[in-house]
Amino acid sequence: MSGATIGTVDPRSAHEPLDAFEPPDRHLVARGVGRRYGRTVILEGVDLEVHAGQVVALTGENGAGKTTLLRICAGLLRAHTGTVGVRGRIGYCPQAAGLFELLTADDHLVMFGRGAGMGRDEALRRGRAILGEFDFPLREKLVTRDLSGGTRQKLNLALALLADPSVLLLDEPYQGFDHGTYINFWDHCETWRRAGKAVVVVTHMLAELDRVDRVIELPAHPSRAERSP
């Protein structure tokens, strides 16, 4: 398995619950988040707020800290400064699929489902339904190492969605997708929006920014800018 962590994250292990005075539609709030690697400042004073029914695009040059910010929001990396609060479960899909090479898709669904408190039958039912929406080859029963990059990423995305999280953190989740599946992904973003999920998508695909509610741009320096699509 790679160093990435995928699937549904229990925010209680890394974050404080949102303050009772926060509006109930506010699902993710990061304030003043900072992170350094040695003397190198990756993030400084970053604010990110995502409400239920919002899709937010996170953009910026390589090295701007997009993946670092998502990992902090997912509870997989500690911020050196600032706070993160979440409401409900988090589903995290990293850019690099962190899968077990010798397990099938069903094996992954059962294993990650158990981590989210699901039995085998429920995990398979939910997971196969999600995979079917992205035209995953369910009948082939291949182990992960025999799947194409795009097919691996479909499984990666399905694991993030498996436990029906209220917050979705997606780090370029369409890597390796063909054009049809890529468009299908953005159509699903609209479905998740209507379902009341708070969605953050790291993307370089500026042509699709008309399909999001807000764009947060992280420049490769301490100042941060926010703009509307």
- pLDDT tens-digit map of 54-99: 999 999 988 899 999 999 999 999 999 999 999 889 999 998 878 9
What percent of the chain shows pLDDT beyond 90? Answer: 69
DSSP-assigned letter for residue 220: S
Domain ranges (residues) in the chain: 7-218
Confidence of residue 5 (pLDDT cuts 50, 70, 90): very low
What pLDDT shows up at residue 95?
Answer: 87
Residue, of 105 and 2, whose pLDDT is higher: 105
By CB atoms closer than 10 A (0-12, 13-18, 19+), residue 89 is middle
Q: Which CATH number fits domain 7-218: 3.60.20.10, 3.40.50.720, 1.10.1200.10, 3.40.50.300?
A: 3.40.50.300
Give the residue from 207, 209, 229, 227 showing the smallest Cα distance to 217: 227
What is the token pair recorded at 96?
A: 């690099």
What is the token pair recorded at 88?
A: 């409900």
Confidence of residue 155 (pLDDT cuts 50, 70, 90): very high
What is the spatial distance between Cα 26 and Cα 67, in angstroms, rounded to a whole number? 22
Widest distance between CA atoms in the chain = 50
The whole-model pTM stands at 0.87
Query: In this structure, are residues 166 and 18 in contact, taking their beta carbons and an 8 Å threshold?
Result: no
Confidence of residue 132 (pLDDT cuts 50, 70, 90): very high
Could you identify the residue written with the tokens 């399905």? 158
Angle at 206 between CA 200 and CA 209, to 5 degrees: 55
Instruction: Phi first, then psi: give them for residue 91, nearest 5 degrees.
Output: -105, 125
What pLDDT shows up at residue 17?
Answer: 58
Alpha helices in 34-178 (DSSP H): 66-73, 105-115, 120-133, 149-161
Identify the bridge partners of residue 13 per DSSP, sorted by sequence position.
none
